[in-house]
Amino acid sequence: MNNQKHILLLGSGGREHAFAWKLSRSPRCAKLFIAPGNTGTALCGQNVPLNPLDFSAIEHFVLENQINMVVVGPEEPLVNGIWDYFQEREQLKEIPVIGPSKAGAQMEGSKAWSKKFMQRHLIPTANYREFTSDNLEEGVQYLLHHSLPIVLKADGLAAGKGVVICQTHAEAIQEFREMLGGKFGTSGHRVVVEEFLSGIEFSVFVLTDGKTYKILPEAKDYKRIGEGDTGPNTGGMGAISPVPFVDDTLWQKVETRIIQPTVAGLRKEKIVYKGFIFIGLIRVNGEPFVIEYNCRMGDPETEVVLPRLKNDLVMLLDNCARGTLGRVNIRADQRAAATIFLVSGGYPGPYEKGKIIRGWENIVGSTVFHAGTTTNELGQLVTAGGRVMALTSLGKDIPSAVRQSKQNAHVIDYEGKNYRKDIGEDLFA
């Protein structure tokens, strides 16, 4: 068996830079290509200008470059069936794709499907009903009698924008009609109407080979643009790991009531799943409920989870692909990790790009994970997206890890730089 891996990693965000950073540290990583990658991933391997959704271009690249492991960062290739594409082709089917089959990716690709899955396996989640344009008027009646606030979810992928929490019945009915009317394209042709759960959220990451599973360090992300969790949602302004309120009692409940029935349920339903399951959870009166499943790792959570993972990631993924995860023990750094995202001025609204980024080469004590950066014609690093770069630090506890990232956030400079200075503070208030 070939232990040296030629790896193709798909994606281009901060998550993928963290993956590339961790994969490239493995002695088993002989070659690493990232498609399409970013300025940061180019420091860990070779970027290749391929679209992760163009499966036939990926097929050619994989065969030409003797790739023997494909790691999928974002959800879209998985929901579109990249795993199945490889399985259906003689020359590709022995090459492991880390990520679920198309059937498994429905965990994220269809909210209605994942709610039904949870019902079938008695996994705690908010009560719900689903509607399409066929029973729109019944949906309106249902909304009128629903307690407030009301959570509406477009069934399909909607680039993180498909969940709307409505404070009034009028708002809910309008949003509901707009979703079914095509506001999110076909993603909203089915809408899940869900009971609002009030509590504190956290995220759990599981790697499964379809038989057994391993739990990675948990994390909590900060989604809102403003300090004190105010203002509009973003792709993520920061994250911390571990999560102090997730004690042994809560872990026990999460593992027995959620993780075990999820993995067992996939297996019972003969859904092939060899990859990461990201479970978004909420603690309500001490009890965990599932808010959502994702069929991939989180961003920016990966930027704190992988720095705390002591295992060789290539070996871990190889065991996942071979169905031998049971042999592995997960080892986590006992230190805490924090990441702070530097974003462009104006984000998540309109913002300017092309601002020269200074000071990033001299960062000491934090790891810089690039997301929205590029180099200009003079070779200078410039901003190229809303979320620019994440600064991850390890520390004896969360406040000291955050302090380290904040010091470095201060050192890096570009016009319009913005970041949250309160990451993790809510946990110690």
Out of 75, 76, 108, 194, point to the residue binding ligand AMP (CB under 6 A): 194
Backbone angles phi, psi at 24, to 5 degrees: -70, -15
What does the per-residue mask of binding to ligand GLY show for 236-265, with x meaning CB under 6 A? Answer: x-----------------------------
* Residue 298 interacting with ligand GLY (CB under 6 A): yes
Counting contacts by CB under 6 A, is residue 221 touching ligand GLY?
yes
Amino acid 398 reads: I
Shortest distance, position 291 Cβ to ligand AMP, whole Å: 5
Residue found by looking up tokens 């704190």 in the block:
304
Both tokens of 83, joined, read 């795993």
Cα–Cα distance, 100 to 297 (Å, whole number): 12
Stretch that binds ligand GLY, among 63-71, 170-178, 292-300, 303-311 (CB under 6 A): 292-300
**Site membership for ligand AMP, residue 196 (CB under 6 A):** yes
Report which residue type is found at 78: L
151 binds ligand AMP (CB under 6 A): yes
DSSP 217: P
Question: Which member of 16, 76, 209, 301 binds ligand GLY (CB under 6 A)?
Answer: 301
C-beta closer to ligand GLY: residue 22 or 355: 22
Q: Does 337 engage in binding with ligand AMP (CB under 6 A)?
A: no
Q: Which stretch binds ligand AMP (CB under 6 A): 14-22, 65-73, 195-203, 212-220?
A: 195-203
Distance, in Å, from the CA atom of 172 to the CA atom of 256, rounded to the nearest integer, reads: 35
Contact between 162 and ligand GLY by CB under 6 A: the answer reads: no
> Residue 292 interacts with ligand AMP (CB under 6 A)?
yes
- What single-letter DSSP state applies at residue 16? H
Residue carrying structure tokens 């509590």 = 199
Tokens representing 414 are 């570009």
Rounded to whole angstroms, the Cα distance separating 46 from 29 reads 13
Beta bridge partners of 369: 390
The residue whose two tokens read 């399985």 is: 87
- Cβ distance 151 to 196 under 8 Å? yes
**Which x/- pattern over 70-109 shows residues binding ligand AMP (rule: CB under 6 A)?**
----------------------------------------
Decide: is 328 part of the binding site for ligand AMP (CB under 6 A). no
236 binds, among ligand GLY, ligand AMP, none (CB under 5 to 8 A by kind): ligand GLY
End-to-end CA distance of the chain: give it in Å, rounded: 53
Q: Is 140 in the site for ligand AMP (CB under 6 A)?
A: no
The token duo for 140 is 């309106």
Residue nearest to ligand GLY (CB): 298
CA dist 410 and 25 (Å) reads 28
CA-closest candidate to residue 152, choices 165, 143, 141: 165
d(CA 297, CA 371): 15
Query: Considering the rule CB under 6 A, would residue 76 count as an interface residue with ligand GLY?
Result: no
Binding at 163: pick from ligand GLY, ligand AMP, none (beta carbon under 5-8 Å per type): ligand AMP
Tokens of 229: 């969790």
Stretch that binds ligand GLY, among 33-41, 133-141, 296-304, 403-411 (CB under 6 A): 296-304
Residues of this chain that interact with ligand AMP (CB under 6 A) are 126, 151, 160, 163, 194, 196-197, 201, 280, 291-292
- What residues make contact with ligand GLY under the rule CB under 6 A? 221, 236, 294, 298-299, 301
